[in-house]
Amino acid sequence: MKTNYNNFVEFNQEIKDAINNHLPVVALESTIISHGMPYPQNIEMAHKVEEIVRENGAIPATIAIMDGKIKIGINEEDLKILATNSDIAKVSRRDIAAVIASKGVGATTVAATMLCANMAGIKFFVTGGIGGVHREYEKTLDVSADLEELAQTPVTVICAGAKSILDLPRTLEYLETKGVPVIGFKTDELPAFFTRNSGLKLNLRLDSVEEIAKLVYVQDTLKLKGGILVANPIPEESSLDKEYIDSIIDEAIEESEKLGVKGKDLTPFLLKRIVEKTEGKSLEANLQLVYNNAKIGSRIAAAYSKLPA
């Protein structure tokens, strides 16, 4: 038999059945587990997010590469490996074929998870924050592959905006250029991950999950290329003080420059230093915003599945 797609993709049966029956399914990434949060909070987060997705009417599909296969729905053993090993590859679009070919293990970023979700027929994807245009872009040309993926892959990503480790105005400009709709959920501004506001006005605000589902439906029906970004602010009670977190982020960036950290190592380095410097306060905020995104993302997926197929 000739090698095909099925040789490199493995579905969990429940997820496969749900996709085939047009039931709501929500994809979840694994870089957030391996590189975005420390152990053991990463495992707790992965469990709780899956629980919240189910409570809100959808089926969770955590995606990673295990032993040379894209797994649509990892199991407990996979999760343990991803959460506890410090040498798991961070897999973006460019790395997928290499990690599969070498029968490796990899945690998928937003870009790679979108790509895999789309391959699998999953339309919604919940995460914490996306990558974007890095500060000092003019020196480094560092733009996350997440933005390029949003430009070309028809998956709706629910996030809490982007961290101000990034250049947020340029990130929004980039998304505009690439034709990506950015929807503020019950907000007029782009949320800045740890804080509800960034001072950057969005073009589009929607106040119900049904309206968002309808927009996705139109975009799909017209087969408009590319993804959609839903920006869901962190709950008020979990948000951090802007001046406090901004000064910590500035310090972390300064350290990364001194140490010459760049490329794919930069984002994980900054995330880790921020958790250390805030003595876990940023981690708690991060957990709460992911849970909130899981709730809203699943409700959007559930609303979408009620629209005519």
Among 128, 161, 181, 226, binds ligand PSU (CB under 6 A): 128
How many Å apart are CA 144 and CA 128, to the nearest integer?
A: 15
Residue 142 annotated as binding site: yes
Tokens representing residue 299 in the block: 């409700």
Question: Which window, 13-21, 62-70, 105-113, 287-295, contacts ligand PSU (CB under 6 A)?
Answer: 105-113
Secondary structure of residue 192 in the 3-state scheme: strand
The number of beta carbons lying within 10 Å of the beta carbon of residue 242 is 16
Which of 248, 270, 274 shows the shortest CA–CA distance to 259? Answer: 270
Residue of minimal Cβ distance to ligand PSU: 36
Residue 298 annotated as binding site: no
Query: Cα 79 from chain centroid?
Result: 17
- By CB under 5 A, what part of segment 130-189 binds Mn ion? 142
Tokens representing residue 160 in the block: 């809490």
Q: Which does 36 bind (CB under 5 to 8 A by kind): ligand PSU, Mn ion, none?
A: ligand PSU
Number of residues located near Mn ion, criterion CB under 5 A: 1
Q: Which does 150 bind (CB under 5 to 8 A by kind): Mn ion, ligand PSU, none?
A: none
Catalytic site residue 69? Answer: no
Supply the Cα-derived Rg of the chain in whole angstroms.
Answer: 18
Q: Report in angstroms how near the CB of residue 278 gets to Mn ion at its nearest.
A: 23
Q: Does 191 bind ligand PSU (CB under 6 A)?
A: no
Amino acid at 205: R
Q: Which does 129 bind (CB under 5 to 8 A by kind): ligand PSU, Mn ion, none?
A: ligand PSU
Question: Which window, 38-46, 61-69, 125-133, 291-299, contacts ligand PSU (CB under 6 A)?
Answer: 125-133
**Residue 195 DSSP class:** B
Residue 90 annotated as binding site: yes
Catalytic residue (one of 29, 50, 123, 149): 29
The number of beta carbons lying within 10 Å of the beta carbon of residue 136 is 12
Judging by DSSP bridges, how do beta strands 59-66 and 69-72 pair with one another?
A: antiparallel
Number of residues located near ligand PSU, criterion CB under 6 A: 17
How many Å apart are CA 89 and CA 222, to the nearest integer?
A: 36
Catalytic site residue 163? Answer: yes
CB 143 within 8 A of CB 134: yes
DSSP E strand boundaries for the chain: 9-11, 25-28, 59-66, 69-72, 89-91, 106-108, 124-126, 156-159, 182-185, 204-206, 228-231
Q: Does 297 bind ligand PSU (CB under 6 A)?
A: no
Among 18, 26, 36, 298, binds ligand PSU (CB under 6 A): 36
CB 90 within 8 A of CB 30: no
Catalytic residue (one of 71, 123, 163, 295): 163
Q: Report in angstroms how near the CB of residue 146 gets to ligand PSU at its nearest.
A: 5
Question: Nearer Cβ to Mn ion, position 72 or 175?
Answer: 175
How many Å apart are CA 128 and CA 29, to the nearest integer?
A: 9
Q: Does 146 bind ligand PSU (CB under 6 A)?
A: yes
How many Å apart are CA 215 and CA 75, to the nearest integer?
A: 33
Question: Nearer Cβ to ligand PSU, position 110 or 209?
Answer: 110
Among 15, 25, 28, 32, binds ligand PSU (CB under 6 A): 32
Tokens representing residue 178 in the block: 């690439």
Question: Which window, 66-74, 103-111, 170-178, 232-240, contacts ligand PSU (CB under 6 A)?
Answer: 103-111
Instruction: List residues binding Mn ion (CB under 5 A).
Output: 142
Point out the annotated binding site. 90, 110, 142, 144-146
Catalytic residues: 29, 163
Point out the annotated binding site for Mn(2+). 142
Point out the annotated binding site for substrate. 90, 110, 144-146
